[in-house]
Amino acid sequence: MTSAVERRRTTFLRGRRAELIALLFMLCKGYRPLARRFSAAGGEIDLILAKGDTIAFVEVKTRGSMDNALVAITAMKRKRFSRAARAWLTRHPWAATKIWRADAIFIAPRRWPQHVVAAFELEIS
């Protein structure tokens, strides 16, 4: 039987691997990284990427199936994510003139990553 510590470690490593896959996928699409694993204000953003005049705050979700990954971004997660995005934007005033959006990349075994542009609204007010 696996211990809780081993399960957490496995989950952590799976998440890190998914973030790396997502980053490489987005680099191939022409995005450039601004930050990885940014955390502030009680929230975390897996990837912050730029392409042209757009800044994409990206949530990466990995699950055993794509259906489970698609429903994994809860209302509480969106709220915390938005708080972290607000914190990042206050620390980078040059970004005020850019277009901001909250994207998601879903990772499942033996499937191509699925990039959802503007997966949810950022609560930036």
pTM above 0.75, yes or no: yes
Range of the domain at 32: 4-120
**40 within a domain of the structure (yes/no):** yes
Q: Which pLDDT belongs to residue 62?
A: 87
Count of the separate structural domains present in the chain:
1
**50 within a domain of the structure (yes/no):** yes
Q: Mean pLDDT for each 10-residue chunk of the chain (125 residues)?
A: 84 90 98 97 95 97 72 87 96 96 92 92 85
**72 within a domain of the structure (yes/no):** yes
Q: Which pLDDT belongs to residue 70?
A: 63
Q: Which pLDDT belongs to residue 87?
A: 96
Q: Which pLDDT belongs to residue 121?
A: 92
**Domain CATH number, residue 57:** 3.40.1350.10
Q: Which pLDDT belongs to residue 66?
A: 61
Written as one string, the DSSP assignment of the chain is ---HHHHHHHHHHHHHHHHHHHHHHHHHTT-EEEEEEEEETTEEEEEEEEETTEEEEEEEEE-SSHHHHHT---HHHHHHHHHHHHHHHHH-GGGGGSEEEEEEEEE-TTS--EEEEEEE-----
**125 within a domain of the structure (yes/no):** no
**57 within a domain of the structure (yes/no):** yes
